[in-house]
Structure 1
Amino acid sequence: MSGLSSAQIAAAYRVSCLDELDALKPGNVHAFADGHRMRVADFVASAEVSTPHLAQAGAGVGTRVRGGVKATLAATDQNTNLGILLLCAPLALAAERGGPLRPALQGVLEGLDPRDAADVFSAIRLANPGGLGRAERHDIHDPGAALLQAAMAEAAPRDRIARAYVTGFEDLFTIGLPALEAARARGLTPPWSTTAVFLAYLARVADSHIARKHGAARAEAVRVEAAALLSLDLGTAPVADLLAHDARLKAANLNPGTSADFTVATLFLDRLTAAAGVES
């Protein structure tokens, strides 16, 4: 079965990035409020300049990630989308290859090679994400580091995006897509269906971006607070309640960036599946 074209993948990625920005995501940057010294405009620019690299026909995962990060840094001088690119690049390649996306994605992950590792490690060094630290084995600062899968397995206990690489992106299929489907079943449409996806991640899993910067206990506290927000009826557009929580998180410099990255990837996967006309 033939896969999606570069143009189809590019359109799905770009719109998913922009849709995520339209949604009120407490603690993160969104159309209702900037934060963490970043503006919505930075993320819009990031989406625009990274799209050609993410959707580059025939390119490997590492090439897509590194190209997108370099273009983003040149345009914004900020790391606004490393996590997004790490999640979306394997999805893009899987969609390009064709067939049901989940097994195609597994094939992409199993086929990652030393070039992918070198390019991804280079991208991570360029982006220099907060709280990264160093690992005893397979450290990204080590030019002799092992294959990407080995490095991701090493980081998996402390980083949810790394964990995705060793679980076949399980969270997208067990948290993100079900949350999106449930939101639609309740009659929610964007941007509130997107907010529902974000809150599902934030309430289900302690955000690893917060954990890296502030510790596991603080990340768990944020998760518990997010779980309480699930009682809100998003169909009533509870802007005031969510903005109040947004302000509290930002005042404490708590940015659930991993949950936002997974939200973009969920929207992207959903669009790829619809465009391909096959089961995910």
Structure 2
Amino acid sequence: MPGLPPAQIATLYRAACLAELDALKPGNVHAFAAGHRMAVSDFVASAEVSAPPLAAAGARVGARVLGGVAATREAVGQNTNLGILLLCAPLARAAERCESVAAVLADLDARDAQDVFAAIRQANPGGLGQAGRHDVAEAAPPSLLDAMSEAASRDAIARAYVDGFADLDAIGLPALAAARGAGLGPTWCTTAVHLAYLAAVEDSHVRRKHGPEVAAAVRARAEAVRTEIDLRTEPVAALLALDRALKARGINPGTSADFTVATLFAEALRAAA
């Protein structure tokens, strides 16, 4: 069975990126509020320019990531989507080749490692720090999966490469299905997905920049918020209060937002297949 054409993959990727921006996601940049010296327009531009390399016909995972990062840096001059690209590139290649994500990850090679390491250096994400093994400031290892395995205990996106994107099936896609089943509109379904990730997993970006205690506290607060509010009532005021509280402390749960985009993209790819 043939896979999806690159043009369709690019369209679905853009749509996932824009849908994530439309939703109120506490602590992140979204249509309800900017933050962290970034605006929604930066992310809109990033989605537009990164779509062609992300969906490039026949491209390997690393080339898709590196091409997307390079195009983004050229367009907006900062890192807005490294995590999104790292998560969406294997999904895009799998959809084009009509393969499982597991098969795509098993096929990663030294070229992918070199390109991903170059993309990370170019994006220069906040709070990256140094690693004892496979530090991105050094030459890439022969196996990208070895590097991801080394970082998996401290980074959810790295862990996704190791466990075959398990969090999408365990957290994101069930949350999306439940939200739709509850009759939520599209933007509130996206908010539900984001809150599900934020409550279930300590956000890697928060942990890198603020430490494990803050990351644990943010996760616990998100878990409490999920029990306190009913998204069917569209609780804008309550979520904006949390949004302001996080941004006042410089807390940006960016990894949860990255997984939200990947969830929307994965679901759209599956529906189109």
Shared topology, TM-score over 0.5? yes
CA distance in 2, matches of 1:170, 1:92: 17
* 1:239 partnered with 2:236: yes
**Aligned with 1:119 (options 115, 121, 124):** 115
- Please name the residue that 2:154 is paired with: 158
Aligned residue for 2:27, secondary structure, equals coil
**Aligned with 2:262 (options 261, 265, 273):** 265
Note the C-alpha offset of 1:136.
1.2
TM-score when normalising by structure 1: 0.96
CA distance in 2, matches of 1:172, 1:96: 19
- Please name the residue that 1:68 is paired with: 68
Note the C-alpha offset of 1:145.
2.6
- Please name the residue that 1:190 is paired with: 186
CA distance in 2, matches of 1:170, 1:149: 15
Equivalent pairs: percent with the same residue?
A: 67
- Letter paired with 1:55: A
Q: Which 5+ residue runs of structure 1 have no aligned equivalent?
A: none
**Aligned with 2:170 (options 144, 153, 174):** 174
Aligned residue for 2:186, secondary structure, equals coil
Q: Which runs of 4+ in 1 moved over 6 A?
A: none
- Please name the residue that 2:29 is paired with: 29
Equivalenced residues, count: 272
**Aligned with 2:246 (options 246, 249, 257):** 249
State the Cα deviation string for residues 68-92 of structure 1 (Å, max 9, x = none): 0000000000100000000000000
Taking a change above 3 Å as real, the CA distance of residues 35 and 144 of structure 1, as seen in their structure-2 partners, is closer
2:172–2:263 Cα contact (<8 Å) kept:
yes
- Letter paired with 1:89: A
* 1:221 partnered with 2:217: yes
CA distance in 1, matches of 2:34, 2:19: 15
- Please name the residue that 1:94 is paired with: 94
Note the C-alpha offset of 1:240.
0.3
CA-atom RMSD in angstroms: 0.7
2:134–2:147 Cα contact (<8 Å) kept:
yes
Note the C-alpha offset of 1:140.
1.4
Taking a change above 3 Å as real, the CA distance of residues 34 and 144 of structure 1, as seen in their structure-2 partners, is closer
CA distance in 2, matches of 1:248, 1:138: 36
- Letter paired with 1:214: H
CA distance in 2, matches of 1:138, 1:146: 10
Note the C-alpha offset of 1:144.
4.9
Q: Which 5+ residue runs of structure 2 have no aligned equivalent?
A: none
Aligned residue for 1:135, secondary structure, equals coil
TM-score when normalising by structure 2: 0.98
2:207–2:214 Cα contact (<8 Å) kept:
yes
CA distance in 1, matches of 2:140, 2:15: 37
1:21–1:30 Cα contact (<8 Å) kept:
yes
Taking a change above 3 Å as real, the CA distance of residues 243 and 144 of structure 1, as seen in their structure-2 partners, is closer
Note the C-alpha offset of 1:275.
0.3
2:114–2:140 Cα contact (<8 Å) kept:
no
- Please name the residue that 2:38 is paired with: 38
Note the C-alpha offset of 1:117.
0.4
CA distance in 1, matches of 2:175, 2:5: 28
